[in-house]
A and B are shown apart, each in its own frame.
Chain A
């Protein structure tokens, strides 16, 4: 599976999110990330009460837990949780949760690993924080790979 070479080949929601960030002046982009952080959905009860199902993402600076699930209809859904006092991490998780919802496993695996750096946040958010988002993405892909090969 070759990752898309251009933004035009991104899954539609991730492409749209990228366009929304790039349409803003650089100084306003963190505000949009903050809005995403507020939109991170609550975990479904089956994960809320079984936190062991969610894998700790060690790459993130704040405790974030995420779990990608390939449903019976062959669509992927990402579930993630991060504390309110870590809005940057919540924002990144929320972008991926929204951008991945309903994609096929192959579409998920084709998301570029460096997608976080496509959002134009490099100067507002330090690179090491962006790597945390890349960490969530790479774990998501591994979990998807494990489930489709199972």
Chain B
């Protein structure tokens, strides 16, 4: 069963309006059969302080990552995790979270590479829901286990690894979505996250800098399609559907937010998120970097 698409006019303009829902849509569909709301936050305790009624919690760090290697959990574990949250293969998943949906978008990307069909983001995330005075609860649901089949992760269509990023330099656009001082190399981290620093500051040669926040309005919702086009397509970065596009940030979560906009909202087919991102690239041996404001070229 697939939940109805949000009929909001702004949402309808996007290339894939079935991927984004407004707070109003969610309020109307809370509790509908076949929809599971998932909260995914940066702060591990935030869900416990109050969440959207019926929402289950998935922690990007402890739930989605393998504890031993820098990789996501395997297909069996993914199936077990989603089943335990009451999710089946045909469930409509609505994701939301703190910090403008950074981690919710990251989870949406992980769910997508695992082939979950109906993944949607709550536009504006947790912040907008709360700002509108909508209901929160501390009741933790005990979902009836779903029947999720063993999942297969697709590491090719929307994901890219370091060696292929290196080959990509000079052949396709790279979008660096970190803050400007991180891009130039003046800072090795975003202001609040020094512990995820790296040895060298700068960016991947040829990458253009468009900080993730450029894509959102003041209330945390994605900007209307025409504005996104002006930023990323004609008049902006000039990205077209012929481009093989790579997004990256520091660990892959903010770039998931932009990946979501490029692929689902603007409909660009070939967009890959480099989840190794700057924490890998800036520390890796024998990979080139560029410092300063210029995109730079492969030398």
Contact = CB atoms under 8 A, between A and B. Distances in A.
Interface of A: 30-31, 33-34, 37, 58-63, 84-89, 91, 123-126, 128-129, 131-132
B182 interface: no
A86 B44 contact: no
A62 B190 CA distance: 12
Contacts of B42: 61
Contact of B43 (A31, A59, A62): A62
Interface string B61-87: 110000100000000000000000000
A34 B195 contact: no
A128 to B, nearest CB: 4
Nearest to A131: B195
B243 interface: no
Nearest to A33: B45
Given A86-B43, A87-B43, A128 B48 contact: no
B104 to A, nearest CB: 14
A112 B126 CA distance: 37
Interface SS of B by simple majority: loop
A141 B139 CA distance: 40
Contact of A87 (B46, B61, B126, B192): B46
A84 B98 CA distance: 12
Interface of B: 42-46, 48-49, 61-62, 67, 98, 126-127, 191-196
20 contacts: A31-B48, A59-B194, A59-B195, A61-B42, A61-B193, A62-B43, A63-B192, A85-B43, A85-B98, A86-B43, A87-B49, A88-B44, A88-B46, A123-B67, A124-B62, A125-B44, A126-B44, A128-B193, A128-B195, A128-B196
Contacts of B98: 85
B48 A58 contact: no
Contacts of A89: 43
Contacts of B196: 128
Given A30-B48, A34-B49, A88 B43 contact: yes
Nearest to A60: B192
Nearest to B48: A34
A59 B197 CA distance: 11
A83 B296 CA distance: 40
Contacts of B45: 30, 33-34, 37, 87-88, 91
